[in-house]
Structure 1
């Protein structure tokens, strides 16, 4: 089951973060203030998709990598604390702060400083999750097919 859940959950998580990032950049570059308020208000609601998908990807990844000595598994494992820490310590608090500020129409220097930090941290997570996806696809090509129910 983990073999099926892991790539789906990982792809959903990555696509969700990419949507958050692109929506923010698009609203800033081409949108109105109202569009920016809408984007910043909706993003925290996206956590209802993002957080469970990250948890499912992480849990199923741990299960799939259990006992494997492939160096790619180790590389993926080492990226995960960075991805999780970045999300918990930077991205979630930033998104909540920016949502609050946007709803108050308070687009001051602190809003743009936090938004810049959020965009950089989001780009880092997109890059790291993309690398994990690439390495996961490499692992899947090397992994022999297993016909038992635990796979």
Structure 2
């Protein structure tokens, strides 16, 4: 079962995070304050999709990794603490703060400073998650070769 859950939950989480990042970047670069406000208010609601997907991918990945060894598994395990810490310590609090500020209509310097940090931290997580997906696909291909 974890073999089926892991890639599906991982894809859902990855697509959700990329969606958050792209909607933020596009609204900031090309849309007005009303769209930015709407995007920032809606992102925390996306946590109802993202957090269960992350729990499923984390749990299934942990279970799958118990049975596997090798450099790809080791690399994935080493990235996970950074991905999790980035999400818990930077991305979630930033999203909640930005939603609060957007609801208050306070798109001020503090809003944009946190927004910049969130975009950078989000890009880092997208890159790390992408590397984990790549390595996961390589592991799957290795299993098919056996």
TM-score after normalising by structure 2: 0.97
TM alignment of 1:2-151, pairs within 5 A: 2-144=2-144
Aligned residues: 146
CA distance in 2, matches of 1:123, 1:99: 19
Question: For residues 50-85 of structure 1, what are the alpha-carbon distances to aligned partners after superposition, in whole Å with 9 as ceiling and x for unaligned?
Answer: 111011001101111113221100100111110000
Structure 2 gap segments, 5+ residues each: none
Residue matched to 1:149? none
CA distance in 1, matches of 2:72, 2:53: 21
Structure 1 gap segments, 5+ residues each: 147-151
Shift of 1:92: 0.3
Runs of 4+ in 1 over 6 A off after TM superposition: none
TM-score after normalising by structure 1: 0.94
Q: Which structure is higher in helix share?
A: 2
CA distance in 2, matches of 1:144, 1:26: 39
Match of 1:143, SS? helix
Question: For residues 111-130 of structure 1, what are the alpha-carbon distances to aligned partners after superposition, in whole Å with 9 as ceiling and x for unaligned?
Answer: 01100000000000000000
Match of 1:105, SS? coil
CA distance in 2, matches of 1:70, 1:54: 23
Match of 1:82, SS? helix
CA RMSD, 1 decimal: 1.3
